[in-house]
Amino acid sequence: MKTICVFCGSQVGTNPVHAETARELGRELAARSHTLVYGGGNVGLMGITASTTLANGGQVVGVIPHALSIKEIALENATELIVVGTMHERKAIMADRADAFVALPGGYGTCDELFEILTWGQLGIHAKPIVVLNVAGFFDPLITWADHMTREGFLKSKHRELLLVAGSVAELFAIFDSWKPREVLTKWALPGER
């Protein structure tokens, strides 16, 4: 895996452990020579992860809609900054460029990105690992809900297994290091792969 897509918030949250986890992830991405692809902002956990990756010699690709490039203050010194017209374009490019996906804490936007990429995995559009970095139990309610959907018959067990969980940055990279890709189930392609 060369390029890791990180979904995370444009806020830092109230628990300082999340900002420190973002810094640790940025340092590790750079140390392992992984390229970070992310939402392009210079604020919140997004900004911390990207700035730390850059500060440690890593490569960063930011993808941000024009309307948000002003509001979220785009990371102008990213290795590559792609300004797009819509959120849909942003997510498609991030997905296309990534070999794996990680979610750190965030709000609705992070949830949107995470669930879209899970849905694409469920539909067989991609076969890339999707991991939530569940530090301080942030994603516990989401994990419980995914298990509940499975018990209630709305989510097949094989699709529940698409949502991988790491309790630390070290565990995250252990998952990536041992990842065995599964076969893509359909002939669908991500935008840009047609």
pLDDT in tens, 76-87: 999 999 999 999
Q: Give the pLDDT score at 180.
A: 86
Task: Specify burial of residue 167 (Cβ count, 10 A radius: 0-12, 13-18, 19+).
Answer: middle
Residue 7 is encoded by which pair of tokens? Answer: 């979904």
CA distances from 177 to 104, 128, 170, 180 (A): 19, 13, 10, 9
What is the per-residue pLDDT across 56-105, written as a single tens digit (0 to 9) for each? 999 999 999 998 887 768 989 999 999 999 999 999 999 999 999 999 99
Instruction: Output the pLDDT for position 107.
Output: 97
Grouping H, G, I as helix, E, B as strand and the rest as coil, residue 9 is coil
Question: Beta strands of the chain (E only): which ranges?
Answer: 3-7, 35-38, 59-65, 80-84, 100-103, 130-133, 163-166
CA distances from 50 to 8, 26, 35, 79, 156 (A): 11, 6, 10, 10, 35
Tell which residue, 92, 87, 102, 91, has the closest CA to residue 8.
102
Domains of the chain: 3-177 (3.40.50.450)
Helix (H, G, I), strand (E, B) or coil at 38: strand
Cα-based distances in Å from 55 to 34, 64, 97, 103, 165: 14, 21, 22, 21, 27
Tally of CB atoms within 10 A around 180: 6
- Those residues whose C-beta lies under 8 Å from the C-beta of residue 54, and which sit 6 or more positions away, are 30, 60, 77, 78, 79
pLDDT of residue 191: 54
How many whole angstroms separate alpha carbon 23 and alpha carbon 46?
10
> Rounded to an integer, what distance in angstroms lies between the CA atom of residue 11 and that of residue 19?
10
Find, among 70, 71, 62, 64, the residue nearest to 5 by Cα: 62
Residue numbers of the chain with a pLDDT score lower than 70: 72, 182-194
What phi, psi does 108 have (nearest 5°)? -60, -40
pLDDT computed for residue 1 by the predictor: 80
What is the pLDDT at residue 68? 86
Quote the pLDDT of residue 184: 57
